[in-house]
Amino acid sequence: MSETRFHALPDGRRIAFRHAPGAGPTLVFLPGYMSDMTGSKAGAVADWTAAQGRACLRLDYSGCGESAGDFGDGTLSRWRDEVLALIASQCAGPVVLIGSSMGGWLMLLVALAIPERVDALVGIAAAPDFTDWGYSDQQKAALAAGQMVLEDNPYGPEPTPTHPGLWADGQARRLLDGPIALTCPVRLLHGQNDADVPWDISLRLAQALRSADVQVVLIKDGDHRLSRDADIALLLRTLAALP
């Protein structure tokens, strides 16, 4: 198991990451909202790459996990740039981006920034444009007015916050209303019992992508996390079968 290290950005941010060298392309795991690199799916990918002799990169966005910073300062653009900095620093060749939930939006933004380096994309309940479809008109009005929105958190005791900066940045980074100029292979896994991200988001994403090599796998009894043993086995089979 690779140890946690820290990458210093020019503005002083120190981004926690774990990098295991190996054969390429490097698999880069992008966690979801308020998640980190120690989750079960990220750990399973790291274990699988180690067994296969493959390179793997995991990281914690600023304000998350072991990375310093205030979560309230986080935005899609800020976290995208952190991922890009880690890829530039740690990955010598091509990469495969694996994005879970919000990480699925980030993987698209990262891939659009460095399309020549991305061999494939794998989304797990990918949630592009969640700042648009994921909030009511009342919540959007509050966020637009600079107010934080709190929602019930099914995964922990504390409510889930959305800060106005993240929401505004997300609204400026929406992708689903037009073509997404990515041509690499894309695999999208989505549970049809997902209470957080409607599974038709993956269908909309598949349609928007320019790539002709896009496959969507729907798991009828799958929830948002897709972290059961069978779900993780599906993810690893998907990675193993990438062209």
Over residues 96-125, the pLDDT tens digits come to 999 999 999 999 999 999 999 999 999 999
Instruction: Count CA atoms within 13 Å of residue 9 on its CB side.
Output: 20
Residue pair 58/100 in contact (Cβ under 8 Å)? The answer is: no
In a domain, 23, yes or no: yes
Question: Please, which residues bridge with residue 161 across strands?
Answer: 150
Average pLDDT over residues 152-160: 85
Per-residue pLDDT at 155: 79
Average pLDDT over residues 181-193: 98
In a domain, 81, yes or no: yes
Print the domain residue range for 228: 5-129+177-240
pLDDT reading at 1 higher than 80: no
In a domain, 157, yes or no: no
Average pLDDT over residues 224-236: 98
Report the CATH number that the domain containing residue 109 is assigned in CATH.
3.40.50.1820
In a domain, 154, yes or no: no
Q: Compute the distance between CA of residue 114 and CA of residue 194 in angstroms, rounded to an integer.
A: 30
In a domain, 199, yes or no: yes
54 band by pLDDT with thresholds 50, 70 and 90: very high
Residue in the block written with tokens 């698999």:
27
Q: Compute the distance between CA of residue 6 and CA of residue 197 in angstroms, rounded to an integer.
A: 32
In a domain, 224, yes or no: yes
Average pLDDT over residues 18-38: 96
Average pLDDT over residues 53-72: 97
154 band by pLDDT with thresholds 50, 70 and 90: confident
The catalytic site residues sit at 101, 194, 224
Q: What is the pLDDT of residues 4-17, one digit of tens each?
A: 999 999 999 999 99
What is the number of domains present in the chain? Answer: 1
Judge if pTM exceeds 0.85: yes
In a domain, 113, yes or no: yes
| Mean pLDDT across the chain | 97
In a domain, 145, yes or no: no
